Amino acid sequence: MTGQPAVLVVGSINVDLVVHAERLPGPGETVAGGRFERGGGGKGANQAVAAARAGAAVALVGAVGDDDLGAEALAELRTAGVDVAAVRRLAGVATGVALIVVAGDGDNQIAVASGANHELAAADVRAPAAAPGCVLASFELRDEPVLAAGRLARDAGCPLIVNPAPARPLPEELCALRPIVVPNRTEAAQLSGAEDPEEAAGRLRARTGAPVAITLGERGALVADDDGTLLVPAPPVAVVDTTGAGDAFCGALAAALAGGAELRGAAADAVAAASRAVTVAGARGAG
């Protein structure tokens, strides 16, 4: 890594198979007439690219298969400026795949076959050559590598961001590591039992003793810290595709924190990045 702010991302790497349709199908329904695209995805990979675009030197810990999709995914990440030296290539295992439908209004639905992502182990999580200024992990991995990422951040004395997506219970050991939890509104409600974002943020803060940032789509993001709560508004934009907006937020947030920004200023940078991301198609959106 260089003298840039250093971000270590521990997360998933997928290939996205995307159908752009007039609307999202209901249960058991087929919506025909769509347009197909294939591109890079996975929350970890998306977040790593977003952090690199925000000016950080980024290393990614993850896993892909030894198939053509894995080779393609790694090549795309290298081109985006992400260090993939710590990404494992696993023989006989499929690279993760996400099946995505994007509606005409930009809304989406996603199903994921995790593949190699669920083979990543705690022992695979190691620090890059330069000490990270921020560690970012997400829940498309099993608990063990996420916890290992948290311990690495603790030992490095740097912020830990955890994007609990898809939502599942927060392990007590993870909460004790004081992560900055960054869910969307739905995930915050699932994790806290509170529908109101401010109440949800308060309950999550009570568990972790750390700040919380809840992404709210077109409204921006709600930051809850020792100074109270702050709504960071999003600028009005023409939405094309919301896939990956939360990943753009997390990656930009990590880059800003690694560079020494305080949380509220970092959240403003992150909202701006997410807003740009939804103006173009694809999980990795606009830079």
The string of pLDDT tens digits covering residues 5-62 is 799 999 999 999 999 999 999 999 999 999 999 989 999 999 999 999 999 999 999 9
With 70 as the cut, is the pLDDT of residue 210 above it? yes
How many residues make up the chain in this entry?
Answer: 287
Contact (Cβ atoms closer than 8 angstroms) between residue 37 and residue 282:
yes
User: Does 284 map to a domain?
Assistant: no
CB 265 within 8 A of CB 256: yes
The answer as to whether 210 is a domain residue is yes
Do 109 and 100 contact (CB within 8 A), yes or no? yes
- At 63-99, the pLDDT tens digits run 999 999 999 999 999 999 999 999 999 999 999 998 9
Supply angle C-alpha 186, 192, 196, rounded to 5: 60
Task: Tell me if 59 is assigned to some domain.
Answer: yes
Pick the catalytic residue from 67, 241, 247, 269.
Answer: 247
pLDDT reading at 224 higher than 90 = yes
Find the CATH number of the domain harbouring 235: 3.40.1190.20
Residue 247 bears catalytic tag: yes
* Closest C-alpha to 286, from 54, 18, 5, 4: 54
Q: Is the pTM of this model over 0.75?
A: yes
> What digits encode the pLDDT tens for the residues 156-165?
999 999 999 9
Of residues 285, 284, 286, 287, the one with CA closest to residue 13: 284
Query: Is residue 287 one of the residues assigned to a domain?
Result: no
Q: Nearest 5 degrees, angle CA 63-CA 66-CA 70?
A: 60
Three-state SS for 23?
coil
pLDDT over 80 (residue 268): yes
Is the pLDDT assigned to residue 205 strictly greater than 50? yes
Task: Quote the mean pLDDT of the chain.
Answer: 94
Give the pLDDT of residue 2.
54
Phi, psi of 135 (to 5 degrees): -115, 135
Predicted local confidence at residue 282, as pLDDT? 75
Do the domain assignments include residue 285? no
Chain-centre distance for alpha carbon 176: 21
Nearest CA among 41, 9, 10, 6 for reference residue 122: 10
**Sequence-distant (≥ 6) Cβ neighbours of residue 68 within 8 angstroms:** none
Overall number of domains in the chain: 1
Under the banding of pLDDT at 50, 70 and 90, the label for residue 3 is: low
Q: What range defines the domain where residue 88 resides?
A: 6-26+34-277
| pLDDT at residue 1, rounded to an integer | 47
- The answer to whether residue 116 is domain-embedded is yes
256 token code pair: 């800003």
State the average pLDDT over residues 263-282: 94
Kindly tell me if the per-residue pLDDT of 270 is higher than 60.
yes
DSSP state of 260: T
d(CA 250, CA 139): 13
Any domain includes 92: yes
Residue 129 counted as domain residue: yes
Separation of alpha carbons 131 and 58, rounded Å? 11
Residue 118, classified by CB atoms within 10 Å of its CB into exposed (0-12), middle (13-18) or buried (19+), is middle
Nearest to 211 by CA among 199, 219, 196, 201: 201
